[in-house]
């Protein structure tokens, strides 16, 4: 199963482990450069494995200092940095003791045990535990862990482990102290964690529906407890919601969340001890935006929900990653939808899906939700595994209905609790609960690519029938030439010209099944399908893919007039929004193609949108946010000139801004008197609406926009409005912009997470001077390649800057390529993630395409590439 020297790991090679671990006792004596780890493993042969097989434990850059088997010393030569092999272990249970010494300070990969700020912390998913001690480091080996942690009391007063605290005390005659933690729930090694250091806690308490009193704590750097309140509140709401919505209660006496400032990803669901990137914990109105608050709520919920979907039921192997990630994203999306506006949350999620997952699926990195091979598992924490995985689960619910879905999930929790499961196990529960054959549906897990669904309509006035011709096709993806049809659930309705719903009736031939009619869902399971609706008024418009019921690209023959009708009248809020997006996208693309496309036709409907903003501002803000340049590029599909896309989109933004200037000014003026800041959904919606209005007003009249933005920048009592104003100013060249950036820096220099916004905004400026600005900022004292958040803020944002990353002279590609090469020696995971900037290079016009390819080849040709970067470059070029 293991990836050696870049050899891919294949699902088809899966074998059960030859040994099982009944118990693990770890004794970790922390030291900044020489931490000693004593591991005592109670092992026994797996009755289902190969009898007499060698015991092969994983390691990664380890140094063994002692080895004992059933008390007898073993030759240290059995251990290499990445392997400990015992050729002929006992045929019955035995005890293996291993001592390793590791250097947390030198650990720049941030995998295994490392230092962050004033603390020690660990990251073990996916294969970090083997950087701490030799182990069967695979998710299907579950064991009960007891951890003793010891450290200098002054240096590390806090000692945290998984599970429940058992005992603690001083180490006699030294300045050291210890704590013992015991986790009664068997778990795989990737869920192991320790944290120790000088940390402050915001404490809370939660009583579960089963009557268990749980001590909660959010641990942060000293002095920052004032910024932990929202995270604690989100945690309590998550715990309650999981009981109410899914019947899942918490199962330990303590739940600790720790915020660290050096973290490769968002956060980690270690059992009872979640470790977070501090950007998903720390917030105050002056320092965090509404989007930051929403991110905290989502990530706190996500990690907490993993306690059942991931921890109690884990993955058999890493090919099943979406079993826990897709399901947990689905759960956190539902949670946020319940806490906020459901349609607005759905729109926001689909925006992310289209921007990230559709891009991945349409590019060289396309892979299925259940891949069948990988070289470096860290590269598979992708939008496909997470977001498309969640969409698949949403489709299961749509297809089997909410009741069978709830029964299936209950069945999954009952049957697989305490085990390491597969995607087949999961789907089997819904097949059983619904009595439905889900085998054809399983293609969503094994075929990559975004299906395109086309819909053509024909109304026959004489017979009053509406014929709907549906077809699906999916373009080839790397390694998958031919695709079989997917089972695509299309939620739908028929919308009359005046907005009323046309009752749905179909005949014997080409009709819908009773189940389809009952669920308002067409199931498209074949390459083509014709449906005939009867007794249909002329002018009726089908509203398809309501609530985005499947992760597909829908192409319809709806006219602009039809779309404007849907945008105004559709009872489905998602499709009202999507109709607006399609109209805007058509308009912008017409401009890219031939300079045509006049927004004037949109005046009435958009004025109406602005009016609806008075009662549903969050929704109106989503309508006013035009399709992104990336989405437009994908819609164009080939030979894209990002400068032309940008110019056309800005021209339309400017035209909308001028057309509705009076309305936008009114929105801005009214919003200014909105009252004190609160990070709730209602307030966030009002701010989003007002800031969308400001952005469009400025696009139409930069001088007026700059003045309004500067006033807002100076007067804001919260980060949301301040940063929105700075974003508007950042698009208007000149002194005012530079002065605002300088003022922002001055004000927030002590807050790295806020300076990240400053880096990101500057890296996003669509001007030719941005490359130089970013190169300059790489040398800024607040910047370091050592902290992932800084790298993502400056270089990640630059890589997402459509015109400047894709400069026609290739200077943008070179900048990112240089950074990737430098970073790779230090933190391969972060280097590989930066390479995501190249995911759509094949869509570009030939000049840029050649330059992007050359930059990728230059990276690939470098010496000593990590497996992470090697896999992405070779796939991107392949």
Residues in contact with Zn ion by CB under 5 A are: 325, 328
Residue 268 lies near ligand 0A1 (rule: CB under 6 A) = yes
Smallest gap from residue 863 Cβ to ligand 0A1 (A): 25
Nearer to ligand 0A1, 267 or 837 (CB): 267
Please give the Cα distance from 395 to 387 (Å, whole number).
Answer: 13
Please give the Cα distance from 860 to 665 (Å, whole number).
Answer: 52
Residue 391 lies near ligand 0A1 (rule: CB under 6 A) = no
Nearer to Zn ion, 298 or 803 (CB): 298
Residue 308 lies near ligand 0A1 (rule: CB under 6 A) = no
List the alpha helices (DSSP H) in 490-628: 514-519, 560-569, 573-594, 603-612, 617-624
Residue 381 lies near ligand 0A1 (rule: CB under 6 A) = yes
Residue 162 lies near ligand 0A1 (rule: CB under 6 A) = no
Smallest gap from residue 271 Cβ to ligand 0A1 (A): 12
Q: Residue 382: which of ligand 0A1, Zn ion, none does it interact with, CB under 5 to 8 A by kind?
A: none
Please give the Cα distance from 290 to 684 (Å, whole number).
Answer: 6
Smallest gap from residue 308 Cβ to ligand 0A1 (A): 14
CB 643 within 8 A of CB 629: no
Residue 295 lies near ligand 0A1 (rule: CB under 6 A) = no
Q: Residue 376: which of ligand 0A1, Zn ion, none does it interact with, CB under 5 to 8 A by kind?
A: none
Residue 123 lies near ligand 0A1 (rule: CB under 6 A) = yes
- Give me the residues paired with residue 202 across strands: 218
Residue 514: count of CB within 10 angstroms of its CB: 8
Q: Which stretch binds ligand 0A1 (CB under 6 A): 259-267, 348-356, 632-640, 731-739?
A: 259-267
Q: Which stretch binds ligand 0A1 (CB under 6 A): 19-27, 143-151, 262-270, 442-450?
A: 262-270
Nearer to ligand 0A1, 303 or 387 (CB): 303
Residue 269 lies near ligand 0A1 (rule: CB under 6 A) = yes
Please give the Cα distance from 848 to 846 (Å, whole number).
Answer: 6
Smallest gap from residue 677 Cβ to Zn ion (A): 30
At 448, which helix (H) or strand (E)?
A: none
Q: Which residues of 669-697 are buried (b: 16+ CB within 10 A; e: fewer)?
A: eebeeeeebebebebbbbbbbbbbbbbbb
Nearer to ligand 0A1, 268 or 817 (CB): 268
Q: Residue 384: which of Zn ion, ligand 0A1, none does it interact with, CB under 5 to 8 A by kind?
A: none
Smallest gap from residue 111 Cβ to ligand 0A1 (A): 6
Residue 267 lies near ligand 0A1 (rule: CB under 6 A) = yes
Q: Which stretch binds ligand 0A1 (CB under 6 A): 61-69, 181-189, 260-268, 531-539?
A: 260-268
Crossing angle of helices 811-824 and 846-860, in 10° steps, is: 20
Residue 486 lies near ligand 0A1 (rule: CB under 6 A) = no
User: For residue 796, with 0-12 CB atoms within 10 Å meaning exposed, 13-18 middle and 19 or more buried, which class applies?
Assistant: buried
Number of residues that bind ligand 0A1 (CB under 6 A): 12
Among 55, 62, 194, 265, binds ligand 0A1 (CB under 6 A): 265
Q: Which stretch binds ligand 0A1 (CB under 6 A): 15-23, 261-269, 557-565, 566-574?
A: 261-269
Q: Residue 572: which of ligand 0A1, Zn ion, none does it interact with, CB under 5 to 8 A by kind?
A: none
Smallest gap from residue 90 Cβ to ligand 0A1 (A): 35
CB 660 within 8 A of CB 623: no
DSSP 541-563: EEEESGGG-SS-EEEE---HHHH
Site for ligand 0A1 in 318-377 (CB under 6 A): 325
CA angle 206, 211, 217 (to 5 degrees): 20
Among 125, 127, 137, 332, binds ligand 0A1 (CB under 6 A): 125
Smallest gap from residue 305 Cβ to ligand 0A1 (A): 10
Nearer to ligand 0A1, 269 or 290 (CB): 269
Active site residue 127: no
CB 649 within 8 A of CB 631: no
Smallest gap from residue 732 Cβ to ligand 0A1 (A): 38
Please give the Cα distance from 560 to 196 (Å, whole number).
Answer: 60
Which among 638, 661, 635 is positioned nearest to 649, based on CA atoms?
Answer: 635
Nearer to Zn ion, 328 or 540 (CB): 328
> Cα dist. 336→295, 678, 856 in Å?
10, 17, 39
Q: Which stretch binds ligand 0A1 (CB under 6 A): 7-15, 265-273, 503-511, 635-643?
A: 265-273
Nearer to ligand 0A1, 265 or 872 (CB): 265
Residue 754 lies near ligand 0A1 (rule: CB under 6 A) = no
Smallest gap from residue 510 Cβ to ligand 0A1 (A): 44
Among 107, 264, 284, 422, binds ligand 0A1 (CB under 6 A): 264
Q: Residue 266: which of Zn ion, ligand 0A1, none does it interact with, CB under 5 to 8 A by kind?
A: ligand 0A1
Residue 868 lies near ligand 0A1 (rule: CB under 6 A) = no
Residue 706 lies near ligand 0A1 (rule: CB under 6 A) = no
Smallest gap from residue 266 Cβ to ligand 0A1 (A): 6
Which among 112, 113, 144 is positioned nearest to 126, based on CA atoms?
Answer: 112
Catalytic one of 150, 269, 303, 804: 303
Q: Residue 332: which of ligand 0A1, Zn ion, none does it interact with, CB under 5 to 8 A by kind?
A: none
Smallest gap from residue 124 Cβ to ligand 0A1 (A): 8
Q: Phi and psi dihedrals of 541, rounded to 5?
A: -115, 125
Q: Which two tokens stand for residue 386?
A: 């997470």
First to last CA, the chain: 24
Which among 63, 62, 77 is positioned nearest to 130, based on CA atoms?
Answer: 62
Smallest gap from residue 277 Cβ to ligand 0A1 (A): 9
Q: Residue 123: which of ligand 0A1, Zn ion, none does it interact with, CB under 5 to 8 A by kind?
A: ligand 0A1
Nearer to Zn ion, 320 or 556 (CB): 320
> Cα dist. 117→110, 342, 826 in Å?
12, 38, 17
Which among 579, 555, 558 is positioned nearest to 567, based on CA atoms?
Answer: 579
DSSP 337-402: HHHS-HHHHHHHHHHHIIIIIIHHHTSTT---SS-SEES-GGGG-SHIIIIIHHHHHHHHHHHHHH
Nearer to ligand 0A1, 390 or 817 (CB): 390
Please give the Cα distance from 214 to 475 (Å, whole number).
Answer: 51
464 Cβ contact list (under 8 Å, min separation 6): 534, 535, 536, 537, 538
DSSP 678-733: --SHHHHHHHHHHHHHHHHHHHH-HHHHHHHHHHHHHH-SSHHHHHHHHHHHHTS-
Nearer to Zn ion, 325 or 578 (CB): 325
CB 651 within 8 A of CB 594: no
Residue 351: count of CB within 10 angstroms of its CB: 17
Q: Residue 264: which of ligand 0A1, Zn ion, none does it interact with, CB under 5 to 8 A by kind?
A: ligand 0A1
Q: Which stretch binds ligand 0A1 (CB under 6 A): 258-266, 482-490, 583-591, 716-724?
A: 258-266
Residue 266 lies near ligand 0A1 (rule: CB under 6 A) = yes
Smallest gap from residue 260 Cβ to ligand 0A1 (A): 11
Nearer to Zn ion, 328 or 565 (CB): 328
Residues at the contact surface with ligand 0A1, assessed by CB under 6 A: 123, 125, 264-269, 302-303, 325, 381
As annotated, the active-site residues are 303
């Amino acid at each position: 199963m293991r990836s050696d020297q870049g050899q891919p790991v294949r699902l088809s090679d899966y074998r059960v482990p030859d040994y099982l671990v009944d118990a693990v006792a770890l004794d970790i004596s922390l030291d900044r450069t020489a931490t000693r780890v004593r591991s005592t493993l109670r092992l026994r042969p797996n009755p289902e494995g190969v009898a007499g097989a060698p015991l092969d434990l994983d390691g990664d850059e380890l140094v063994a200092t002692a080895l004992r088997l059933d008390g007898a010393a073993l030759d240290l030569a059995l251990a290499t940095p990445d392997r400990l092999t015992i050729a002929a272990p006992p045929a019955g249970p035995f005890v293996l003791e291993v001592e390793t010494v590791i250097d947390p300070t030198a650990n720049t990969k941030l995998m295994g045990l490392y230092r962050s700020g004033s603390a020690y912390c660990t990251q073990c998913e996916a294969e970090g535990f083997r950087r701490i001690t030799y182990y069967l480091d695979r998710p299907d080996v579950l064991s009960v862990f007891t951890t003793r942690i010891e450290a200098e009391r002054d240096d590390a007063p806090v000692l945290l482990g998984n599970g429940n605290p058992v005992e603690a005390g001083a180490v006699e005659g030294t300045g050291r102290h210890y704590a013992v933690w015991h986790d009664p729930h068997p778990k795989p090694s990737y869920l192991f964690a320790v944290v120790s250091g000088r940390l402050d806690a915001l404490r809370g308490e939660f009583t579960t529906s089963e009557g268990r009193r749980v001590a909660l704590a959010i641990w942060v750097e000293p002095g920052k407890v004032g910024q932990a309140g929202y995270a604690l509140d989100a945690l309590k709401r998550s715990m309650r919601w999981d009981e109410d919505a899914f019947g899942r209660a918490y199962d330990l006496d303590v739940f600790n969340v720790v915020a660290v400032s050096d973290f490769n990803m968002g956060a980690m669901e270690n059992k009872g001890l979640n470790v977070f990137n501090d950007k998903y914990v720390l917030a105050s109105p002056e320092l965090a935006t509404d989007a930051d608050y929403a991110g905290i709520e989502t990530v706190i919920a996500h990690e907490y929900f993993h306690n059942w979907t991931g921890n109690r039921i884990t993955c058999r192997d890493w090919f099943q990653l979406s079993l826990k990630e897709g399901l947990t994203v689905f759960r956190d999306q539902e949670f946020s939808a319940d806490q906020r506006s459901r349609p607005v949350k759905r729109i926001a999620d689909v925006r992310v899906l289209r921007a990230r997952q559709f891009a991945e699926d349409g590019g060289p990195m396309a892979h299925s939700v259940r891949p069948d091979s990988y070289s470096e598992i860290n590269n598979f924490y992708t939008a496909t595994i997470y977001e498309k995985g969640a969409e698949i689960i949403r489709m299961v619910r749509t297809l089997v209905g909410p009741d069978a879905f709830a029964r299936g999930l209950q069945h999954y929790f009952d049957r697989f609790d305490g085990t390491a499961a597969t995607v087949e196990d999961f789907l089997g529960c819904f097949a059983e609960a619904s009595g439905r054959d889900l085998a054809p549906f399983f293609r969503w897990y094994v075929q990559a690519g975004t299906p395109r669904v086309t819909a053509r309509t024909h109304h026959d006035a004489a017979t009053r029938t509406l014929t709907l011709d549906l077809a699906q096709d999916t373009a080839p993806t790397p390694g998958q030439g031919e695709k079989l049809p997917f089972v695509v659930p299309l939620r739908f309705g028929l919308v009359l010209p005046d907005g009323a719903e046309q009752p749905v009736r179909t005949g014997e031939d080409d009709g819908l099944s009773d189940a389809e009619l009952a669920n308002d869902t067409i199931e498209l399971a074949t390459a083509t399908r014709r449906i005939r609706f009867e007794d249909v008024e002329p002018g009726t418009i089908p509203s398809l893919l309501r609530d985005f019921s499947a992760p597909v690209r829908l192409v319809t023959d709806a006219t602009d007039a039809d779309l404007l009708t849907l945008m105004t009248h559709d009872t489905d809020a998602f499709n009202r929004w999507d109709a607006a997006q399609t109209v805007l996208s058509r308009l912008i693309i017409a401009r890219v193609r031939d300079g045509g496309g006049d927004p004037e036709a949109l005046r009435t409907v958009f004025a109406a949108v602005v009016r609806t903003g008075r009662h549903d501002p969050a929704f109106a803000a989503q309508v006013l946010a035009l399709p992104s340049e990336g989405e437009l590029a994908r819609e164009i599909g080939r030979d894209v000139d990002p400068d032309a896309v940008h110019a056309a989109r800005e021209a339309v933004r400017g035209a909308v801004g001028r057309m509705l200037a009076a309305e936008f000014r009114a929105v801005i003026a009214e919003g200014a008197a909105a009252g004190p800041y609160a990070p709730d959904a209602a307030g966030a919606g009002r701010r989003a609406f007002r800031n969308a209005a400001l952005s469009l007003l400025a696009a139409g009249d930069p001088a007026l926009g700059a003045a309004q933005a500067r006033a807002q920048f100076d007067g804001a009592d919260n980060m949301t409005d301040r940063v929105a104003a700075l974003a508007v100013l950042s698009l208007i060249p000149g002194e005012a912009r530079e002065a605002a950036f300088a003022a922002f820096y001055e004000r927030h220099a002590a807050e790295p997470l806020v300076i990240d916004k400053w880096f990101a905004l500057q890296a996003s400026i669509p001007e030719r001077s941005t490359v130089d600005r970013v190169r300059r900022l790489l040398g800024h004292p607040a910047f370091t390649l050592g902290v992932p958040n800084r790298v993502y803020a400056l270089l990640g944002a630059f890589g997402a800057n459509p015109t400047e990353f894709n400069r026609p002279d290739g200077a943008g590609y070179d900048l990112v390529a240089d950074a990737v090469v430098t970073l790779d020696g230090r933190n391969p995971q972060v280097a590989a993630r930066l390479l995501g900037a190249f995911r759509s290079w094949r869509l570009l016009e030939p000049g840029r395409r050649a330059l992007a390819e050359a930059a990728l080849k230059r990276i690939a040709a470098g010496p000593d590439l990590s497996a992470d970067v090697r896999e992405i470059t070779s796939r991107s070029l392949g």
